[in-house]
Amino acid sequence: MGGKPSSPLDKRQQQHLRDQVDALLKNFLPQYRGHLAASILRQVSRELGPQEPAGYQLLHSKKLPRVREHRGPLTQLWGHPPQWQPIFCVLRGDGRLEWFSQKEEYENGGRPLGSTALTGYTILTSQREYLHLLDALCPDSSGDHTQEEPYPLLEMPVNFPLFLQHPFRRHLCFSAATGEAQRSWRLALQGGIRLRGTVLQRSQAPAAFAFLEAVRLYRQHQGHFGHDDVTLGSDAEVLTTVLMRELLPALRVQTLPRLRGAGRARAWAWTELLDAVHAVVLAGASAGLRAFQPEKDELLAALERTIRPDVDQMLRLRARLAGRLRAEIQGPLESCLHRKVDVQLPRVTQTLLNTVEAALAAVQSLLAQGMDRLSLHLRGKPSGMRLRKEVYSFGEMPWDPELMQICYREAERSRGRLRQLVAPFGFLGSRSLVFGAQDLAQQELPEFEGDVLAVGSPALTMEGIYEDVIREILLQRIDRELKKALGASDVSCALDGCSEAPWDQEGADEETEAQRETCSRPPGSYTEVQPLCPLPPPGTLQS
Residue by residue, DSSP assigns 117-175 as: E-TT-EEE--HHHHHHHHHHHS--TT---TTSPP-HHHHS--SSEEEEEETTEEEEEEE
Alpha-carbon distance of 2 to 147, in angstroms, equals 24
Angle at 326 between CA 323 and CA 332, to 5 degrees: 165
Cis amide leading into 167 (omega within 30)? no
The residue among 525, 524, 518, 526 whose CA lies nearest residue 168 is: 524
CB atoms within 10 A of CB 457: 19
Please, are residues 120 and 132 in contact by the beta-carbon 8 Å criterion?
Answer: no
Q: What is the pLDDT along the chain (543 residues), one digit of tens a residue?
A: 444 556 788 899 999 999 999 999 999 999 999 889 888 888 887 776 655 544 444 444 444 556 678 999 999 998 777 788 999 999 998 899 999 999 999 999 999 999 999 999 999 999 889 988 888 887 764 445 444 444 545 556 788 999 999 999 999 999 999 999 999 999 899 889 988 888 888 888 999 999 998 998 898 888 776 666 788 899 999 999 999 999 999 998 888 888 877 778 888 889 999 999 999 999 999 999 999 999 999 999 988 888 888 777 777 877 887 888 778 777 877 777 777 777 777 877 777 777 777 777 877 787 787 778 777 777 777 677 777 777 777 667 776 777 777 777 766 676 666 666 665 555 555 455 455 555 555 555 454 444 433 444 555 566 666 667 776 777 777 777 777 777 765 444 433 333 333 333 333 333 333 333 333 333 333 333 333 333 334 343 333
Sign of the torsion formed by the C-alpha atoms of 276, 282, 285 and 290: negative
Which H or E run contains 294?
helix 263-307
Indicate yes or no: pTM above 0.95.
Answer: no
- Provide DSSP, 192-229: HHHHHHTTTTT---HHHHHHHHHHHHHHHHTT--SEES
Cβ contact 126:182 at 8 Å? no
For residues 442 and 325, give the distance between their C-alpha atoms in angstroms, rounded to a whole number.
Answer: 41
- Written as one letter, the residue type at 421 is L
